[in-house]
A and B are shown apart, each in its own frame.
Chain A
Amino acid sequence: EAGVAQSPRYKIIEKRQSVAFWCNPISGHATLYWYQQILGQGPKLLIQFQNNGVVDDSQLPKDRFSAERLKGVDSTLKIQPAKLEDSAVYLCASSLVSNEQFFGPGTRLTVL
């Protein structure tokens, strides 16, 4: 069974630029999550989708972050404009049963 796929794996941008990350969950997993992991900390949930509907986006900085999951499969997370403090690893996870989440390899973002 293929795992969660993410791209790109690394991205370096200047502050105020925009960036987008892509995630393809494990086949059949209805729930998809985006987490932000800053160095030395645990992951923090940004947004949770159930199929193509948003379940929880309470910690998503909506003035600069957006996410969508069209057709209930792939998802994209966008940051526009990026700030220095957005430097982190962005992790996508998916689950069949909401309690057991499987993470993709992550995208390491560096904002200069």
Chain B
Amino acid sequence: QKEVEQNSGPLSVPEGAIASLNCTYSDRVSQSFFWYRQYSGKSPELIMSIYSNGDKEDGRFTAQLNKASQYVSLLIRDSQPSDSATYLCALDGGYGGSQGNLIFGKGTKLSVKP
């Protein structure tokens, strides 16, 4: 049973600070990882994908992947109140023809205080 674990939070950071969101997973074979942002009452929105060990940067967001430690993280620099949302970590739990079966964690609620 593939699992994705996240601290549910809430994680509270002041405006302008770096928010660090963490995720661990159980399936050593997993190759593809994703971060989704979900505002209250809205649907998930893809913000980052990462497939290789190391860092991937996109604007204020940096995803980090360590497959040996089965650990994925998301850093948000210069956090803004508009970043306040629940951040969902997901991995692709399928193989071959069934790729796309995303397995989500429960999400970490981030609150950025002005």
Contacts and interface: CB of A to CB of B under 8 A. Distances in A.
Nearest to B97: A55
Counting contact residues on chain A (CB < 8 A from B), the size range is 20 to 34
A90 to B, nearest CB: 11
A104 B86 CA distance: 17
Nearest to A44: B104
Contact of B49 (A50, A55, A99, A102): A99
B25 interface: no
Contacts of B105: 42
A96 B49 CA distance: 15
Interface string B45-59: 110010100000000
B100 A99 contact: yes
A43 B104 contact: yes
Interface in A42-67: 42-45, 48, 50, 55-56
B40 to A, nearest CB: 11
B43 A103 contact: yes
Interface in B18-56: 32, 34, 42-46, 49, 51
Interface of A: 31, 33, 40-45, 48, 50, 55-56, 89, 91, 95, 98-106
